[in-house]
A and B are shown apart, each in its own frame.
Chain A
Amino acid sequence: MTGIFKASARMRKTIGATALLGMAVSSVQADMLDVEKDELTFGFIKLTDMAPLAVAKELHYFEDEGLYVTLEPQANWKVLLDRVITGELDGAHMLAGQPLAATIGFGTEAHIVTPFSMDLNGNGITVSTEVWEMMKEHIPVEGGKPVHPIKADALKPVVDRFRAEGRSFNMGMVFPVSTHNYELRYWLASGGIHPGFYSPTDASGQIKAEALLSVTPPPQMPATLEAGTIHGYCVGEPWNQQAVFKGIGVPVITDYEIWKNNPEKVFGLTAEFVEENPNTTLAITKALIRAAKWLDENDNANRMEAVEILSKPEYVGADAEVIANSMTGTFEYEKGDKRAVPDFNVFYRYFATYPFYSDAVWYLTQMRRWGQIPEAKPDNWYDEVAKSVYRPDLYLEAARMLVEEGHVDEADFPWDSDGYRAPTPAADIIDGVAYDGRKPNAYIDSLPIGLKSGQTVEGTEVVGG
């Protein structure tokens, strides 16, 4: 065993040396970016979608760019954001809503930008076993198994029953501007359950709410559900599969079924950092793009290896089999009901890493929809905010270098994009409302529950419109 290991180590070294020699001859080595800061600390939350960071470190992509990166798990999303703002962290795996909210001054105010989108999909909504039993009566069955996707229509009678019994129906999400908050709200609202409004004077987000949503850090979700504090939650992996393994809850829907290929986490840096360290920013982006490519390469061939990396205690740390459940193209709903969801985690294909303005705009429309943005804004405001936070220019510059170095293919990137994805057709979203990032106000007005153009929340009432 050790003999094999030694031999392969030696082989690797030889390959490495040859590669270095090769590079010295070509222009690659000469082109290595002159990074301004080479010792970096990045924060992350224990979730499988931090994979590009772990992979870039473990496969030495950061080192290839001359970067020495330390990865630090953070206790929760708030601590993570605060530490990026104070500069204790140079950058972090972030909720897409975090840079946007910080930049427009909701919650904390700081200009944060992103040159790299980390993944598509990857979340699920889980309910407790008790709620699942109550929901089951309202779900059609085919071949002995419930028909998916399960709409919130099936949850509506349960919520009504809770309310009739005088119990509040509590659900957990990970942060007020998290993807999870918006996805959970989206799903609930599509089934006619009101998730509540935010107002400038009430940041609880529970005005008029039928389901009460509150913040719980991702790794604590299963424990909180087990303790009975919440009846369900929306969180990233592996914390939905963990509930299945523990036998305490049932994931009812993945975000892929709510909105096919919805944008997820981003890599966030302060605008100040990007300005002061342009080459470092490019080097980071290059390493992350390579990591994302590796994760999706050859039809997800590397996923098991990625699972092994993620299961190390310094990264996600959950058991490999729990992580593998969602990382390898499947998803286990009820115990034993394992189904194929090949695109549950997408890191590279479908231009997953390109920071599309339309993704940013979607998050902003949800902030407006639920009152986190109290006043209506014109369409061009959405465009401007998106452009000040999402930086496809930096992304494409990094991608161009990688193409020239031969690490990636020219076809992997949307070179001519104006930053907006083609409108999402109604069929790809669970409530059948199409989304066009160029027309945010029209989109907001077409959503069933939520603030419309002229409306504001005053006290506990919606006025105007």
Chain B
Amino acid sequence: MTDTSHAIDTRSAEREARKERLFTRINKAAGWLDALGLSWLTPILKIAAGDNPREQAGELKRVLVIPLIGIGLFIAAWAVLAPQVQTSLGAIPGPVAVWDQAVNLWEDHKAERQKAVEFHERQKARNDQLVADGRADRVKWRDYTGRPTYLDQIATSLVTVGFGFLIATLVAVPLGIASGLSKTVNGAINPLIQIFKPVSPLAWLPIVTMIVSALYVDTVDWLPKSLLISAVTVTLCSLWPTLINTALGVASVDKDLMNVGRVLQLPTAKTITKLVLPSALPLIFTGLRLSLGVGWMVLIAAEMLAQNPGLGKFVWDEFQNGSSQSLAKIMVAVLTIGIIGFMLDRLMYALQRAFTFSANR
């Protein structure tokens, strides 16, 4: 009798402990979910794990229901107001028309992939024929020559912004550290930062186009000239937040810490990696996050103006097409740009959390 009750006790204790562990895990994950913009998952997980649903309902309402109502209201207002504005291409498309075009673009993508398959089949038939004719030396394999689909354009834009952001980071972080550590460097580059920071991407573009065209003569396949031009324009506009925040972060490192470094006679490289960077990282990441946001915005403008491949070109092409579907397609692009921008920001925020935690340890 005592044995069984003991067993029940241990079992319930075990269950309690397991539940406890589960909750600790959920709470740990909550921070990450929050960083990724998925904070509404936390209360759902807690309910699933056996927490009191009523307790979590309030939280769920705050993070899931209310935002959904906001989005719902927006879509309703859009659906009601859009048809009332008549443009020369017809009424402004509502949510349904835009969704239709999103589906349409996906169908286009699939159709284009199908055409690529057929292209390769035809190519194979031609090459097989050449081999059969004993002219194997003339066999050639070529990439598909069709147009880039919407998904291809998104990929191109992401690669371009990533590339431009990478260059911006490589330039801005070292320069920011130098200017944070030395008043002289700071004095020298500060006026330049002030002047170049507000310049619009549309003004940089012609200069970048001319200079890249002049310098980048031997083009390689994986880096087309148009991509480099867009990327460098992104760099020029997006390096400033990182530069300024890095300088600020480095300059505000605790003076005592720096003095300790001086007493220990640490070499500069050590000072930077062991003292400066760990304390400045949170601000550096804030700068990077801002930079990526600016870069993404700038990219679309640059692609539109220069007709470089990517989402910007897609928007411009559709504007020029002026068909009855064009406006809805442009709206699909706008939403895509917004959602991708949001996801990029969340990604940087998650990175920031990861690095800042480790820096605090």
Whether chains A and B associate is yes
Q: Are A38 and B142 in contact, with the CB atoms below 8 A?
A: yes
Interface flags, A222-235, vs B, CB<8A=1, else 0 = 10001000000000
Segment touching A, from B74-82, B233-241, B294-302, B314-322: B314-322
Cβ-closest chain B residue relative to A75 = B307
> Which of chain B's residues 313-332 have a Cβ closer than 8 Å to chain A?
316-318, 320-324, 326, 329
B322 with A219: CB separation less than 8 A: yes
A16 within 8 A of B: yes
CB distance from A206 to the nearest CB of B (A): 26
Q: Is B265 an interface residue (CB 8 A)?
A: no
Q: Which of B108, B225, B323 contacts A311 (CB 8 A)?
A: B323
Does A138 lie at the interface of the complex (its beta carbon under 8 Å from any beta carbon of B)? no
- With A74-B307, A75-B307 already in contact, the answer to whether A317 and B320 are too (CB < 8 A) is yes
B148 CB, min distance to chain A CBs, angstroms: 9
* Bound Cα distance from A34 to B138, whole angstroms: 9
B321 near A317: Cβ-Cβ < 8 Å: yes
Interface residues of B in 134-159 (CB under 8 A from A): 138, 140, 142-143, 145, 147
Q: Decide if A248 touches B321 in the complex (CB within 8 Å).
A: no
> Cβ of A60 and Cβ of B307 under 8 Å apart?
no
- Known contacts: A24-B133, A74-B307, A75-B307. The answer to whether A226 contacts B142 by CB under 8 A is no
Chain A residues numbered 1-52 whose CB sits less than 8 Å from any CB in chain B: 16-17, 20, 24, 29-30, 34, 38-39, 46
B138 to chain A, nearest CB (A): 8
Which residues on the A side are within 8 Å of B138 (C-beta)? 34
Q: Is B318's CB under 8 angstroms from A313's CB?
A: yes
Q: In the bound complex, do residue A222 and residue B88 qualify as a contact, i.e. CB atoms below 8 Å apart?
A: yes
Give the number of chain A interface residues (Cβ < 8 Å).
40
Q: Which of A42-97 contact B (CB under 8 A)?
A: 46, 57, 60, 63, 66, 68-71, 73-75, 79, 86, 88
Q: Is the CB of A20 within 8 A of B129?
A: yes
Is residue B207 contacting chain A, with contact meaning CB distance below 8 A? no
Give the interface centre of A69, A73, A311 by most chain B CB atoms within 10 Å.
A73
Q: In this assembly, does A242 line the interface, its C-beta being within 8 Å of a C-beta of chain B?
A: yes
Task: Please judge, given known A-B contacts A39-B142, A68-B142, A248-B88, whether A24 and B322 are in contact too, CB under 8 Å.
Answer: no
A318 at interface by CB-CB < 8 Å: yes
A219 touches B88 (CB 8 A): no
Closest B residue, CB atoms, query A39: B142
User: Does A220 have its Cβ within 8 Å of any Cβ on chain B?
Assistant: yes
What residues of A have a CB within 8 angstroms of the CB of B123 in the complex?
A: 63
The answer to whether A63 touches B122, judged by C-beta atoms less than 8 angstroms apart, is: yes
B125 on the interface (CB 8 Å rule)? yes
* Contact for B318 among A16, A88, A242, A317, CB less than 8 A: A317
Contact check, A29 vs B133: say whether CB atoms are below 8 A apart: yes
Report whether B321 and A246 are in contact in the complex, using a CB–CB cutoff of 8 Å.
no
A291 within 8 A of B: no
Q: Which residues of B contact A248 (CB under 8 A)?
A: 88
Contact B88 A29 (CB under 8 A): no
Determine the distance from Cα of A330 to Cα of B322 in the docked complex, in whole angstroms.
Answer: 21
Flag if B320 contacts A220 (CB, 8 Å): yes
Instruction: Judge whether A202 is part of the interface by a CB distance below 8 angstroms.
Output: no
Residues of B within 8 A of A20 (CB): 125-126, 129
Q: 20 other contacts beyond A46-B320, A60-B122, A73-B317, with CB at 8 A cut-off?
A: A16-B122, A17-B125, A24-B133, A29-B133, A34-B138, A63-B123, A68-B143, A68-B145, A69-B145, A70-B145, A73-B320, A88-B225, A219-B320, A222-B88, A313-B317, A313-B321, A317-B323, A317-B326, A318-B323, A319-B323
Q: Which 6 pairs between the two chains have the least Cβ-Cβ distance? A: A317-B321, A219-B320, A246-B88, A314-B147, A68-B142, A319-B323
